[in-house]
Amino acid sequence: MEEKQDRRFTRRDVFTASAGAAAVLGAAGLPVLATATPALADTDHDRGRGLRVEPLIPARNRGIILYSVRDRISAAPDNSGVPYGFERVLARLAEIGYKEIEFAGYNQSTEILGRQITPKEIRKILDDNGLVANGTHTQINPATFEQQMDIAQELGMKNIGTGSDPTNTAYKADWDAAADTWNELGRRARARGLRLYTHNHDAAYSFLLDTGPLDANGKPTRSSGKRRLEYFFDKTDPRYVFFELDIFWAYVARYKHKTYTDRWGRQQTSLFDPILTVAPQPLRFPLFHAKDGNRNTAVPNGHDMVPFGEGDINFQQFFQTIGEQDFHHANWEQDTAPGGTTAPAQSLDFAALSYTNMSELTIYRRR
């Protein structure tokens, strides 16, 4: 497995999620699905025979991070008729079809029970609705890590993570220190049957400052062209440290972080490719945020968030090319889903639309 993940290939290898691309990636020894069979067979006599259609994201691996419906998780009992709190919201998500839940906190309004809900009570709600917790965004802090792992195991998770970067600086020394900490925490997590993961925003895929003249504080001012989180990949142990690619923010990084100044002061261009980040090492990415966007160069991020399947990101190409569909878990997220008091049902409505669009991504396989 390690030998396969060390293979290198280029953007030229990824044309589309087509028969040609599958052949190229397969020849390179990469873990791509053999899913690019034409919808029709080669002859009229055999048209459509020998094929079957399968979901690109298996139903059991379709999830949601509760940050997308945080307005309804945190809502107090009201007269809107819209579900509120863990019990009602999780029941609605299960009714929609979601099978997995990624947590973004464990609190709800104390008006529901007259006190705060407990992890044990949340676990019962999950079990009663046939839901599985696949991860969490919590603080990864050595001082509280054992307590957070206790909660994760109470809820039945296999992954424990954070929505923050391991460090917020651009300097290699800080990423080295973070890697040391995460390797140790990841080792502790593995000993308890958990995988430790970090989630990216666009800044994680901006460039390190790791070369060139030093500033007044002795810090480097230029870049070798290495991106922060990609450096972290190499510094952390693949047995202990894993990643959740936020696909939307990865494409924002592609839009925003294109140029750097090299050690000689020359501006260089380097195009970030989210697919090529995952495909050589797919087993380091158990989780994804399936977050969609429309291109809009009038806004700083170059994209506006929209429900899954309503934007421009080519999820068909993405998930088909990276392969390993049984290992990868896709959690729908939309930061802007809550509609406020004027549209209290909006986040759950977007959750339903996004689930439908996710379930309609399909591939064709030979029987």
pLDDT one digit per residue (tens) for the chain, 367 residues = 333 344 344 433 443 433 444 444 444 444 443 333 333 334 444 556 788 899 999 999 999 999 999 999 999 999 999 999 999 999 999 999 999 999 999 999 999 999 999 999 999 999 999 999 999 999 999 999 999 999 999 999 999 999 999 999 999 999 999 999 999 999 999 999 999 999 999 999 999 999 999 999 999 999 999 999 999 999 999 999 999 999 999 999 999 999 999 999 999 999 999 999 999 999 999 999 999 999 999 999 999 999 999 999 999 999 999 999 999 999 999 999 999 999 999 999 999 999 999 999 999 888 7
DSSP 227: B
Q: What is the pLDDT of residues 284-305, one digit of tens each?
A: 999 999 999 999 999 999 999 9
Distance CA 151, CA 219 (A): 40
- The packing angle between helices 228-235 and 172-191, to 10°, is 50
Residue 110: partners with Cβ closer than 8 Å, 6 or more residues away: 116
Q: Which fold has domain 58-361?
A: TIM Barrel (3.20.20)
Cα separation, 88 vs 93, in Å, equals: 9
Q: Which of 314, 243, 326 is nearest to 285 (CA)?
A: 243
How far, in Å, CA of 63 to CA of 53, rounded? 21
What pLDDT, in 10s, does the model give residues 122-159?
A: 999 999 999 999 999 999 999 999 999 999 999 999 99
Each residue of 134-162: b (16+ CB within 10 Å) or e?
A: bbbbbebeeeebeebbebbbebebbbbbb
Is residue 208 a contact partner of residue 171, using CB atoms and an 8 Å limit? yes
Supply the DSSP string of 206-225, one letter for each residue.
SB-B-EEEE-TTS-EEE--S
